[in-house]
Amino acid sequence: MKKRLSPYVIIPLSFVVINLIGTLILYLPISHQETADVKFVDAFLLSTSALTVTGLTSIMDISMTFNTFGKVVIAVLIQIGGLSVITIGVFLMILIGTKINISNRLLIKESMNQVSAKGAVKLVKNIVLITLSIEFIGFVLNLFIFMSYYPFWEAVGYSAFHSISTFNNAGLDIFGSQNMIPFSGEIILLIISMIMIMIGGLGYVVIYDILTKRRYKKLSIHSKIVLKVNLCLWLFGFVMFMIGQLQSNQYTPLEAMFLSVSARTAGFKVTDMTSLSTLSIVVLVFLMFIGGSPSSTAGGIKTTSLYVIYKSIKGYAFGKKTITYNRYIADESRYKVYILVTSMLAIIFTSIVVILIIQPLSLEEVLVEAVSAITNTGLSMDTTQKLYSTSKVIISLLMLVGRVGPLTVLLIFNRNWPLKESKHVKYLEERIMIG
């Protein structure tokens, strides 16, 4: 009997294959402006950044480097990365009438980080419909603003690219080397962009739950947790950045709110990142590390992980079980959070040490760059273009690991997941001294 590949192998493999194809296309002259000279490592970094919806690139001005075809390729990579290769593949199978077997349903389950494979096909249809609908609305709203800056057809291109990039929390743009800083005075554009980022970071499951149930009380526990944690983090970031603003006197309240939203993990900037105060950088790293929510376009350890950590600490401190909404949080969920957080921290620490060995950079620069990469955020202290080729490869790998998910990467090496105890072998319990 032919052995099938595990979903934990197929998911990262699909990203690697698409990434290599994207790299080759962006490297070829067909994608460039006539005067542009793109190195292979830069094409690889940009393709990875677009596919993992991160936003880090050593090619500072995409608009001056790539032609219309190249920009379309980048937008397509962002869309594939946001929806996921698996989702798009299954949706195409649905369109041509191919039967979705149990293997494909399991792929969807793992790709979208779902608890069950039940309703997987319906989930894919809803995800694609919701994505295209929201992006179209964002495109129309953006168009009215960009038409005052560019000729009509150029405005159409800018609006479409920006809508795709904001909803997918990608952070890439075709405005120029300053990202959204030239538009910091466009209040309506900033608000539209923030809303698109927020919706994209909530997750498809939550969006669908809100659209169908429409009342907070009827929402699932997952949706309530996601909304509650996101609101707290947005407000926390805003308040802390405003305190940090007192030290640097750099941005307005609206820009502070935009930075709070973008740090989770969109990567758009409306202010000079190199001038942030130390407090702002610490808060920025924290928000990037948390990221968005499960089954969303954002990265990070996710808001639900933060919630489980908070509930676990609270339960331990007061000698109670880990309870939320009158439900016991499963030991498996808490175990997964522990593995996720520790593996993320270990990867970040290792990558920082290696990059600092390779080249002389400040700790702040490398810390922000590494955390931004693995959480698929894209915010940088203008460090990416300073990186050596080896460092760029490390950052690219961090982006891929962050998009696929550290847990999925770890499960590539585990052929016996989920773990099952033998019926015939029992082990004595050992209580190891902790703390």
> Which residues partner with 324 through β-bridges?
327
What one-letter code names the amino acid at 233?
Answer: L
116 by Cβ neighbours in 10 Å (0-12 / 13-18 / 19+) ranks as exposed
> Do the beta carbons of residue 383 and residue 361 sit within 8 Å?
yes
Phi, psi (rounded to 5 degrees) for 324: -145, 130
Distance CA 277, CA 284 (A): 10
Per-residue pLDDT of the chain (435 residues; tens, 9 = 90+): 445 666 667 778 888 899 999 999 999 999 998 888 899 999 999 999 999 998 888 877 888 899 999 999 999 999 998 887 777 777 777 777 777 666 667 666 666 666 555 667 777 888 888 899 999 999 999 999 999 989 999 999 999 999 999 999 988 888 876 788 888 888 999 999 999 999 999 988 899 889 888 888 889 899 999 999 999 999 999 999 999 877 767 778 898 999 999 998 888 988 888 888 889 999 999 999 999 898 888 889 999 999 999 999 999 898 888 888 888 888 888 999 999 999 999 999 999 999 999 999 999 999 999 999 999 998 998 899 899 999 999 999 999 999 888 887 877 776 654 445 555 677 787 777 777
Distance CA 180, CA 236 (A): 23
430 by Cβ neighbours in 10 Å (0-12 / 13-18 / 19+) ranks as exposed
String of DSSP letters for 123-179: HHHHHHHHHHHHHHHHHHHHHHHHTTTS-HHHHHHHHHHHHHHHHTT----SS-TTT
